[in-house]
Amino acid sequence: MSQNLLSPKLFFRDLLVNFISGVAGAALVGILSGQWWLGFVVFCIIVLVLFFARLWNKYERMIKLLLSGKVGYYYSFDLEESPKVWEEARRSFCYLGISADSIMEPLRRWIEKSPVSEYRILLMNPESKYLRQQEAFERGHDLDVRIEGLPADVRNAIDEAAAATSSRVKSAVEILKGTKVYRTDGRMKIRFYDEFSPSWMYLVDDRKAYIGILEKGKRGSSSPVMVIGKKDRYTGPFDLFRNQWERLWDDAIDA
* SS3 state of residue 198: coil
- Confidence at residue 68, expressed as pLDDT on a 0 to 100 scale: 55
Domain endpoint, select from 51, 66, 81: 66
Does residue 135 share a domain with residue 74? yes
221/100 Cα distance (integer angstroms): 10
Q: What is the mean pLDDT of residues 55-64?
A: 60
Does residue 59 share a domain with residue 80? no
Does residue 36 share a domain with residue 153? no
Does residue 249 share a domain with residue 158? yes
Among the ranges given (43-47, 72-76, 173-177, 231-235), the one the predictor scored with the smallest mean pLDDT = 43-47
173/108 Cα distance (integer angstroms): 11
pLDDT digits (tens, 9 = 90+) for 162-217: 999 999 999 999 999 999 999 988 999 999 999 999 999 999 999 999 999 998 88
Among the ranges given (15-29, 83-97, 138-152, 236-250), the one the predictor scored with the smallest mean pLDDT = 15-29
Does residue 224 share a domain with residue 198? yes
Give the distance between the most distant pair of CA atoms in the chain: 85
- Confidence at residue 35, expressed as pLDDT on a 0 to 100 scale: 60
- DSSP E strands in the chain: the ranges are 70-74, 92-96, 118-124, 188-193, 199-204, 208-213, 225-229, 253-254
- Confidence at residue 14, expressed as pLDDT on a 0 to 100 scale: 65
- pTM score: 0.73
**Alpha-carbon Rg for the chain in angstroms:** 26
Does residue 247 share a domain with residue 129? yes
| Number of domains the chain is built from | 2
Domain around 56: 2-66
